[in-house]
Amino acid sequence: MTPEFIYLASQSPRRAQLLGQLGVKHELLLALPDEDVEALEAVLPGESPTAYVQRVTSLKLDAAMARWEQRSLPRAPILCADTTVALGRTILGKPEDAANAERMLAMLSGHTHRVMTAIALQHGAERWALLNVSHVRFAPIDADRIAAYVATGEPLGKAGAYAIQGRAAAFIEHISGSHSGIMGLPMFETARLLRQAGFRL
């Protein structure tokens, strides 16, 4: 039987928008204020960026499954995703403040970094997961331009302190990979998982 909708366990409006492009109806399955979601994103000592993003996505899906069960919601597939920016083995998460955002952007300036988005989908007892890896090269950016960008507030709450669909697009010299994956939900991989769960796209 084909599912009629999915639960999206993400606060990201970009993920919801991208999911809508696939023509998939979804309902948000968000954490309550008493859930410590940030604790799930702690990096383990010596953990590689690839292992990190896959582990965090799996933990987020576990939490979403528990949330679904506690609320006695109708059965439907549950989708989770997590995006991580990495420069070498250094994980650049969401900046804590403007100064932290400026430091991250200065590190990315003139270099190529990886953007990894892991997705996981659970339907009943079945769980599927995929990883998308893209490479992004920033042009050299001077301190004044970095400060001006950070002052817009856009980098806060974004992995790597930037949003490709926003003003930071002006910094990007080259992309190798998935534009939607860099935004936070790789369309090709997401469609593949949804088909495995029974959707006809």
Residue where the block lists tokens 């069960």: 69
Ramachandran assignment for 155, one of left (phi > 0), alpha (psi -120 to 50 degrees), beta (any other) = alpha
Q: How far apart are CA 182 and CA 46, in angstroms?
A: 24
Question: Which residues does the annotation mark as catalytic?
Answer: 82
Longest Cα–Cα distance in the chain: 56
Q: How far apart are CA 115 and CA 121, in angstroms?
A: 20
3-class state of residue 198 by DSSP: coil
What residues pair up with 80 in beta bridges, in sequence order? 120
